[in-house]
Structure 1
């Protein structure tokens, strides 16, 4: 490894220190995947899904921190903050205006744990066939409501 020279110091001063795995850090609210205990998407946060799993992991990892996506409305983040307070877990709201991610809540630790499955599975949305049946029914109702008199 070469010794840093004046050019390296200038680059660091202008652009900041170099970051490992920047794309991974952008997706996971500034942390690395290897440190994540549990992840909830924005949609799951808005539906308050995964609270039981999160509670269980908070019991197991007392040294964890909860990272909340600052782009998610406070009303949706509030129950997760309260849950973290019950277990004495520090919460941080991460607001990065430059990046867009599907991550809503992360339970993380300061050391690598290499957990294979970090996502919480929730009920899947209805299949496209079911949706099309619902759409057909809705269209039929709307047509009957807005019939033009003869």
Structure 2
């Protein structure tokens, strides 16, 4: 093993300890991709999409923890925190102004799980399909068309 010298101590004191895969840690709220069980984007968290899937994955991984993006308002994070509390899962709110990520909630463990599909897919509803295909005007017209 290499003997540490004064320069190494100074560098660590000035810049902090060296970190593996810093860009990956920035994206995944401080954890590594290989440790991620489930990921929700900010918009999914604000729309409360994926609560059922998150609950299922929490039950599969009792030793997991939930990382929540601190840029999201508390009122949107609250259902996720209460779900974690019900299942005795530790939650951490990560507020780092320097890092930009579109992820809102991450269920992670302390060891590598190497899950291939970690994203929650949004299932299309008829209302959403009609809004996206025909626009808002057609969607509202369909709501108010006469019966019969």
Q: TM-score, normalised by structure 1?
A: 0.83
Q: How far apart are the structure 1 equivalents of 2:99 and 2:14? A: 21
Deviation of the 1:4 alpha carbon: 2.2
Judged with a 3 Å threshold, the aligned counterparts in structure 2 of structure 1 residues 83 and 20 are, in CA distance, closer, same or farther, namely same
Q: How far apart are the structure 2 equivalents of 1:6 and 1:103? A: 39
Q: What stretches of structure 1 of length at least 5 have no aligned partner?
A: 139-150
**Residue number in structure 2 paired with 1:77:** 77
**Residue number in structure 1 paired with 2:68:** 68
Judged with a 3 Å threshold, the aligned counterparts in structure 2 of structure 1 residues 128 and 65 are, in CA distance, closer, same or farther, namely same
**Residue number in structure 2 paired with 1:98:** 98
Judged with a 3 Å threshold, the aligned counterparts in structure 2 of structure 1 residues 93 and 129 are, in CA distance, closer, same or farther, namely closer
RMSD: 2.1
1:17-65 per-residue CA deviation (whole Å, 9 max, x = no partner) reads 0000000000000000111111100010001000111000111111100
Judged with a 3 Å threshold, the aligned counterparts in structure 2 of structure 1 residues 129 and 9 are, in CA distance, closer, same or farther, namely same
Classify the secondary structure of the residue corresponding to 2:38: strand
Deviation of the 1:2 alpha carbon: 3.6
**Residue number in structure 2 paired with 1:109:** 109
Q: What stretches of structure 2 of length at least 5 have no aligned partner?
A: 139-148
1:1-150 alignment runs, 5 A limit: 2-123=2-123, 130=133, 133-134=134-135, 137=137
The structure number with the bigger radius of gyration is 1
Deviation of the 1:3 alpha carbon: 2.8
Deviation of the 1:77 alpha carbon: 0.2
Deviation of the 1:123 alpha carbon: 3.2
Q: How far apart are the structure 2 equivalents of 1:8 and 1:127? A: 61
Classify the secondary structure of the residue corresponding to 2:39: strand
Q: How far apart are the structure 2 equivalents of 1:102 and 1:68? A: 12
Deviation of the 1:134 alpha carbon: 1.9
Q: How far apart are the structure 2 equivalents of 1:85 and 1:129? A: 36
